[in-house]
Chain A
Amino acid sequence: MPDELVSLTIDDVQVSVPKGTLLIEAAKQAGVLVPHYCYHPGLPVAGVCRMCLVDVEKQPKLSIACATQVADGMVVRTQSDQAKKARQSVLEFLLINHPLDCPICDQAGECELQDFVFQEGRAGTRYTEYSKRFNPVEDFGPDVLYVPNRCILCTRCVRFMEDVAKEPVLNVSERGDRAFIGIHPESRLDHPWAGNVVDLCPVGSLLSKDFLHKARAWELDKTASICTGCSQGCNVTLDTREDVVVRVRPRPNLDVNRYFMCDHGRAHYRWMNRGDRIEAPLIRHGGELRATDWDEALDRSREILKGARGAAVALVSPRASTEALFLARRALAAFEWTGAFQVVVGDEAPLAGVPNLALRAERAPNGKGAELLGYTRAYAAAVTAAQSAAVVLVLDDPDAVVKTDGALIYLGTVLPPVAREAAVALPIANVAEEEGTFVNRDGRVQRYFQAKPAPGMARPGWWALGELLPEAERPASAADAFTQLAAAEPAFAGLSYGQLGFAGARTTRGAGAGAGVPA
C-alpha cells in the first residue's frame, strides 16, 4: 500500500512526502539542508542541540525540524529572521566553550561546527573574557579518543552505543555546562562497532587513534568502494592522500550497512598500500623468473593455454572481482575445469540494533560471487587435482600451496612462494587500484571504484585475464567485462553495470540465498 502523501512548502519549494516524515528529511527533498548536530538519520531523535529551529507558519514558537512531523499545507521557513537568529545564537552558545583549536584538530575541514558557523554564525564572539571549560583527553577505547573540550554534547555517540550497538557504556555525566560524555568506569569503548562514534561525532571530540594527525580533511580524495573485510559488503569510502589509503569510512546504504561499518573493516586497509608489489610481468627462463613486458608475458600465457589439453584448475581468491573471476573461468573454457577458493573464518560480530548487519565470520568480500560463477569451497580437492592438471591458474591467492606437473599461471599483487613456481606471473591491481564488483552474502552485486593508480605495470585482473581470450572477445573495460558476464551467467541476468551505480542491485539467484533478509 503506498504511503499517504503530505504536501508542504519549505522555503517556497513545494514537496510531497509520506505522512510521518520529519521536517528535516522533507527539507532535504526540497533541497534545503537544515543545520543540525544531534539529529542523525541512523539514530533515535534527541532534539537537544536546538540547531534545527525553523519557522513553521501558525506556530507561536520556532520548531525543531528534527522532531516535527510534516503536516499537510505546512509552510516552513528556514531563513526567517527569527529562525536565523535562533540558530546563530545556538552557534554562539556552542562556541563559548569550544576551544577553536581547529589548526590542530583532525576534524577541521569536515567539521559541522566549522561549516555552520561559517555559513551562519556571528562574525565575532561576545564571550572574550572567560576561560573555557577544560577536561583532559580521555582514552575511551582501542581506537577512540575523547577530547571533551571540543564536545558539543549532541549525544550521538551515547545514542549509538545505547540504541544501535545496544552496549550502553557511554552517558552524559554531570549537569549544566560541566557536562561531558562519560564512560562506564569499568568499561572500554571496545565494541566491535565502536568506531562509528568517531564518524558520528559532528566535531573533533571523538577521534580515531589510527587516523590521528594523518591528514587534513582537505588533502583527502574520496572514492566509493566496498569493504573487503567480510562477506557483508558494507559500502565504504576510501580516503586517500597522495595515493595512499589513510582511512576507510562507511558510505550510507540503507539496504546493506545503513550508516555504519565495523572496526575490523575500518582497520583493514593497510594491505592496500603494500610496497612489496609485483610491478612487472614475469616469465620463466630456466630456473628463474625474469621481468618482461606485457606483450611477451601475455604471448607466453596464450601459448601455454593453446598448447595444453585436459584438466585445468583455478585457485582463486574470494577477494578477486567478479569480472576477473568470470574471465578466469572463460580463459580456461577449453579445459576440463575445476575452480575453488578458500575463505578465512573469524568471529561473527553483529550490530544488534540493525537487522542483518554483522561482521561476518567469512572474511571474504566476494565468496558469493565466486560461488555464483561455479567456484567451490572444495579447495583441498582442487589442490590435489592441480598436481596432474595441464594448467593451473592462481588468481591473487598468495596462500596457495600447489605442486603441479602442468603449467602454472599466477596473477597477483605480491610474489608469494607459489608464484615462484609459475611459468608466468602477472602483476595485477588491488581493490583500491581498479574498478569492479563484489557480490555480498545476500547476493547483492556492488561496484567499487578506483582510488589510486596501480604500481608499475600492474593492471586490473579483468584486463590481464581478458587478454587471454580470443581477440574479438577481449573486454575493453570493467564495464565491458561485466556486460559479458551478465550476458553469459544466468545468475547475473538483467543486471547492467551502469544501473548498479553506487548502491548495487540483487542478483536473481542470490535473492533466495540471503536468509532472513527483508525483501
Chain B
Amino acid sequence: MGYPHKPHPKETAVLSKHFGDAEARSYKGWVKRGGYEAWKQAQAMTPAAIIEELKNSGLRGRGGAGFPTGLKWSFMPKEKKKPHYLCVNADESEPGTFKDREIMRWTPHQLLEGTAIAMRAIQAEVGYIYVRGEFTEPFAIMAQALDEAYKAGILGDLKIYLVRGAGAYICGEETALMNSIEGKRGNPRIKPPFPAAAGVFGLPTTINNVETLAAVPHILKNGAAWYKAMCLSNPKSTGTKLFSVCGQVQKPGNYEVTMGFPLKDLIYGMAGGVPRGRTLKACIPGGSSVPILNREETESCLLDYEGCVEKGTMLGSGGVIVFDDSADMVYQIMRLARFYAHESCAQCTQCREGTAWTTKILQRILAGQGKSTDLDLLLDLSENMTGKTICVLSDSCAAPVVSGIKKFRGEFEEYLAGRRRPVVAA
C-alpha cells in the first residue's frame, strides 16, 4: 500500500489533488498547476470583496470549532489604526489528526497562497505560520517554499515568518499559540479580549487553521457558488474536508470528501473497514477531544458540523479514530485522559488536577482496583471540569470519559466486578 494512497473514486480531491505529486511542492510546479492565480486575482480585489466572497462560500474553520471564516475575518478593525497580524495554526497536535501535515508536505504553496490572500483580506502586514515542533519535514518544506516564493517576488510586501513550536499540544489553542510566538510560555489567555481586538503582541490578529487557508485559493478561483454547491447534507456545511482516518482500519490515511459524506462510507468504503474478522465497535470522528460514537451512531453519522452534533459529538479537526471489537474502551479512554493530563498547561485548577485525577482513577479501574463509586465520581469530576476553565482542554478530557462511560459502561463494570484481567498501565 503506497502512501499517500491513490484517490478513492468517491473522494472530492480539491485540497489533496496534488498529494503525492512531488513536483507540486516547488514554486514552478505549483504555478504550472494553476497556483498563485487566485492570489493575483485577490490582489485586484478589495479586502471587503474577498471577505464577502468567503462569507458567500460558507467556508468554516477546519481547526475544530467550525466558525465561519469570512465572518471571523470581518471582525478585524475596518479602520486600520495599528498593525494587523495573521497567525496560521499549523500546530496540528490533536491525536488522530494528520491532515495539515500532508497539506504542508505536499502543497506548501497552497498554504502560502491562502495565507497571502487572508493577509490581504484582513490587511495584515505580518503573518506567522506556527508549525508543530515535531513536524521537521513539513517545516523544512515550508521553509523552502517560502524561500522560493520570496525569490519569485510573488508575495510582494507581505512578511511571512515560520515559527516552530516546541512540542506542547496546548500551543495549538489560539491564544496559547500567540503567547508562544511572543516567546512566552504557551498558556491560553482569558477571553475577552478576543484576538481580533488584541492578539499576538496585543495587536489585532486573525488566526486560521492550515486547512481553512488552503481552501481559500480554490474559493477565489472557482467562485463562492462552486464551493457552496459542494454539500451533501446541511447547507451550513459546505466544501470539502480532509479526514484523517486511523486506528483499526485496513487503509488508514487522509481522505477528502464533500461535507455531509456518510462516516460509514468513509470507514468501510475508503478506509477499507476494520481488519478482517473484526467488527466496528466505536469511532471518535473529530480528533480525541470529541465524544465517542458507538457503532450505531457511527454508521448513521453524516460528516458535517450539524451531522456530528446530531449524534452528540463534533466534527472537530476531522481526525477519525476507529476502534474494532478488540479494543478495550476503558484502556483507550485512559490513554486519552493521560494525554490531556500530560498536556494540561497547569493554569486552571480543574484541568491541572482534574485531568490527572481522572487518569489515576481510570488506571486504578484497569488495575482491577476500582470501586463501585468510581464511575459516578468520574462523571462528577467530568462535570466539574466542563465549561469552567480558560480553554477547552479540560472539557476535551471530560468528553471521552463521559461518552465512554455512557456508551461502554459494561466494560467499566466488568473491571469493577473483577471479570476482566487487570491491565497495569504505565
Contact = CB atoms under 8 A, between A and B. Distances in A.
Contacts of A175: 168, 170, 342-346
B364 A129 contact: yes
Contacts of B357: 93, 96, 127, 177
A172 interface: yes
With most chain B CB atoms within 10 A of its CB, the pick from A51, A155, A172 is A172
Nearest to B373: A126
Contacts of B341: 176-177
Contact of A50 (B342, B348, B364, B381): B348
A97 interface: yes
Nearest to A45: B190
A48 B348 contact: yes
A90 interface: yes
A415 interface: no
Contacts of B354: 93
B360 A130 contact: yes
B390 interface: yes
Interface residues of A, number: 36
A503 interface: no
A47 B349 contact: no
Interface string B347-382: 111101111110010001000000000000100010
A514 B372 CA distance: 70
Contacts, number: 85
A46 B384 CA distance: 20
With most chain B CB atoms within 10 A of its CB, the pick from A92, A129, A174 is A92
B56 interface: no
A97 B349 CA distance: 11
At the interface, is chain B mostly helix, strand, loop or mixed?
Answer: helix
A47 B342 contact: no
B389 interface: yes
B350 A50 contact: yes
Contacts of B364: 129
A152 B349 contact: yes
Contacts of A129: 364
Contacts of A171: 185
Contacts of A179: 346, 352
Interface string A84-127: 01100110111011000000000000000000000000000011
B387 interface: yes
A48 B353 contact: no
A35 to B, nearest CB: 12
Interface in A51-68: 51, 53, 61-62, 64, 67
A424 to B, nearest CB: 65
B352 A86 contact: no
Nearest to B363: A130
B388 A94 contact: no
Interface residues of B, number: 29
B65 to A, nearest CB: 16
A392 interface: no
With most chain A CB atoms within 10 A of its CB, the pick from B349, B364, B387, B390 is B349
A153 B356 CA distance: 15
Given A45-B190, A176-B355, A86 B346 contact: no
Nearest to A174: B346
A176 B190 contact: no
Contacts of A93: 349-350, 352-354, 357, 384
A94 B353 contact: yes
B387 A62 contact: yes
A49 interface: yes
Interface in B149-198: 168, 170, 185, 190
B352 A153 contact: yes
Contact of B349 (A45, A50, A67, A172): A50
Nearest to A171: B185
Contact of A172 (B346, B356, B388): B346
A27 B377 CA distance: 33
25 contacts: A46-B347, A47-B190, A47-B390, A48-B349, A49-B348, A49-B349, A50-B388, A51-B349, A64-B190, A67-B190, A86-B384, A89-B350, A89-B384, A90-B349, A93-B352, A94-B353, A126-B377, A129-B364, A172-B347, A175-B168, A176-B355, A177-B353, A177-B356, A177-B357, A178-B346
Interface of A: 45-51, 53, 61-62, 64, 67, 85-86, 89-90, 92-94, 96-97, 126-127, 129-130, 152-153, 155, 171-172, 174-179
- Closest A-B pairs by Cβ, 5 of them: A179-B346, A89-B384, A177-B356, A93-B353, A47-B190
Given A48-B349, A89-B350, A177-B341, 20 more contacts: A50-B348, A50-B349, A61-B387, A62-B387, A62-B388, A67-B190, A89-B381, A93-B353, A94-B353, A152-B349, A153-B346, A153-B347, A153-B349, A172-B347, A174-B346, A175-B170, A175-B346, A176-B346, A177-B352, A177-B353
